[in-house]
Amino acid sequence: QFMGEIMGLSVLEKGIKDKLQVENVVVVPGNSDDYEWVKQEMGKACVSFLKKVTQSNATIAVTGGTTMASVANVMTPLEKADNYLFVPARGGIGEKVENQANTIAAKMSREAEGDYRLLYVPDPLSEISYQNIIQEPSIIEILQLIKNANIVLHGIGDALTMAERRKTSSEVMGILRDKKAVSEAFGYYFDQEGNVVHKVRTVGLQLEDLETMEYVITVAGGKSKAKAIESYFKHGKSNMLITDEAAAEQILRDS
């Protein structure tokens, strides 16, 4: 039965590689909508991949969310490298503190025995504060580190679920509904075709910055995220998707 499970998962991995056009895929058993341990398994797969690809002096940028928090929980030192740095990918985007990128970067660095730098920005940010803040020398310095990161670890959320969790204004909720937002990653909201329909105003990594990253590692699972994962992969850059069986099966079922 164990072998059957392994074979089943590798068939799913192959199917997802073809359908989403991504070079590396890992599918772990289960459905992370129902069980927390499934997120931990995705976390472990993420840490093993990170161990393979992280070189000494690397900068690793991380986003927020409960999935990234699970990755942080199972983080261990990245044996083959040293002197690596964790940074948050973007400023706070309305999440509870335990789900914020800053908290997760600090936790990952503690577990991995690396360094970290934090990005302190008020959340949400008005246009005028934004324009001022990006001129602060201390902010400029950390933004340089973020934009020049070698590796990015990020989650994908279902658009409306994320918007509600972040207590988004009713005006923006209206925009997301009108424009049929399906997924969210890095504070950007995407429709079914992968077009950006809205973006949270904060400093940090911009989608364009992904182009120069060596590895973009995506961790997202749960049957409820199937459509969101498909939407992100329409245009979003990723070199590695770590997902679960329930999401993978649903993605392959969707036409």
By CB under 6 A, name the binding residues for ligand G3H: 63-67, 155-157, 162, 184-185
Comparison of 55 and 224: residue with beta carbon closer to ligand G3H: 224
- Rounded Cα gap, residues 142 and 105, in angstroms: 13
Q: Measuring CA to CA, how many Å separate 42 from each of 15, 80, 130, 153?
A: 18, 21, 35, 12
- Rounded Cα gap, residues 235 and 193, in angstroms: 8
* Shortest distance (Å) from residue 69 CB to ligand G3H: 7
Comparison of 142 and 162: residue with beta carbon closer to ligand G3H: 162
* Shortest distance (Å) from residue 9 CB to ligand G3H: 21
Comparison of 143 and 162: residue with beta carbon closer to ligand G3H: 162
* Shortest distance (Å) from residue 98 CB to ligand G3H: 10
* Shortest distance (Å) from residue 156 CB to ligand G3H: 5
Closest CA to 88 of 46, 65, 119, 109: 119
Exposure string of 40-61, with b = 16+ CB inside 10 Å and e = fewer, is bbbbbbbbebbeebbeeebbbb
Q: Which position's Cβ is nearest ligand G3H? A: 65
Comparison of 114 and 187: residue with beta carbon closer to ligand G3H: 187
- Rounded Cα gap, residues 4 and 86, in angstroms: 38
